[in-house]
């Protein structure tokens, strides 16, 4: 455990073992919530190649058997996240909280406000491909229903691709859409309140829990941290633990917002192992 502890400036972070202790003591009343890419699955050159290692999956299955609520919270579509993780007994929040796929079901629940903008989001995204420049630079598109993403990780000229995508973002914003930047990805989104924190509120709304832990590696995960802390401030939860996943691309904002950092997907596996053990 000591090998994965880090301190978050300017104040010392809570030791991971100390942060996990109350969660492990009462797992039935605790939620374990995890991002997928960069957290459970290593970041890969092409998003379609992402996989959760079998050792991580086995640990997550053990955690799912002990805790009151276990869910993956992803920027991908909920069904895609479930396919990557390959565990049907847990919940999936997809599209940064716009979709909810409950355990053991195949029916996607879609945020109504986000769904109303889906057609306009796709029209703007389709227009971005018309002159062929994005394809020439080998930018990859991702259709996520109410959200459309443009990926440029691993393109031959990432700087040129990013410059072109900034123009796509400007046109989308001029058309009244929302944009969101991640790690070498731009998302065109409906201009409605849509983030992982809001999705977590939706997921936990009808649960009877005392505590929750969230683990993530990117800027969108800061919204999840904020969502859990709002539930604590509102008296809905007694405790929230926010874990950041450290990498060479860790956003400074994430490190500053986390209660504790773990080192990459290996650190996440060590944390899951600890959560799966009896207190």
Tell me: do 75 and 213 sit in the same domain: yes
* Residue bearing tokens 């003591």: 25
Same domain, 121 and 101: no
Residues 246 and 118 in one domain: no
What confidence tens digit (pLDDT) does each residue in 60-85 have? 999 999 999 999 999 899 999 999 99
My answer on whether 146 and 168 are in the same domain is yes
| CATH number of the domain where residue 235 is located | 3.40.50.1000
Inter-residue contact 35 to 74 (CB < 8 Å): yes
How much of the chain, in percent, has pLDDT values that exceed 70? 95
| Res. 14 pLDDT band, cuts 50 70 90 | low
The number of folded domains in the chain is 2
Mean confidence (pLDDT) of the chain: 92
Condensed to tens digits (0 to 9), the pLDDT of residues 26-63 reads: 999 999 999 999 999 998 887 778 899 999 999 999 99
Angle between helix 264-276 and 16-25 (nearest 10): 40
- Choose among 149, 150, 146, 143: nearest CA to 119: 146
Considering the domain architecture, whether residues 6 and 89 belong to the same structural domain is answered as yes
């Amino acid at each position: 455990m000591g090998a994965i502890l880090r301190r978050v400036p300017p104040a010392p972070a809570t030791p991971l073992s100390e942060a996990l202790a109350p969660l492990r003591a009462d797992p039935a009343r605790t939620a374990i919530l995890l991002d997928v890419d960069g957290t459970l699955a290593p970041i890969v050159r092409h998003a379609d190649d992402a996989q959760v290692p079998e050792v991580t999956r086995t640990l997550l299955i053990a955690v799912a058997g002990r805790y009151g609520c276990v869910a993956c919270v992803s920027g991908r579509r909920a069904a895609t996240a479930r396919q990557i993780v390959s565990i049907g007994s847990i919940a999936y929040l997809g599209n940064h909280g716009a979709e909810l796929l409950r355990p053991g079901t195949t029916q996607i629940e879609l945020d109504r406000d986000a769904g109303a903008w889906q057609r306009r989001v796709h029209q703007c995204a389709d227009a971005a491909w018309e002159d062929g420049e994005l394809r020439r630079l080998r930018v990859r598109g991702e259709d996520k229903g109410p959200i459309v993403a443009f990926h440029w990780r691993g393109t031959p000229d990432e700087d040129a691709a990013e410059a072109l995508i900034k123009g796509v973002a400007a046109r989308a914003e001029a058309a009244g859409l929302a944009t969101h930047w991640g790690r070498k990805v731009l998302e065109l989104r409906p201009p409605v309140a849509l983030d992982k924190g809001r999705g977590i509120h939706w997921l936990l709304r009808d649960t009877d829990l005392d505590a929750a832990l969230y683990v993530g590696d990117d800027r969108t995960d800061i919204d999840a941290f904020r969502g859990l802390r709002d539930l604590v401030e509102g008296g809905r939860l007694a405790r929230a633990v926010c874990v950041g996943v450290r990498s060479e691309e860790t956003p400074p904002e994430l490190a500053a917002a986390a209660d504790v950092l773990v080192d990459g997907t290996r650190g996440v596996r060590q944390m899951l192992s600890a959560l799966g053990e009896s207190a």
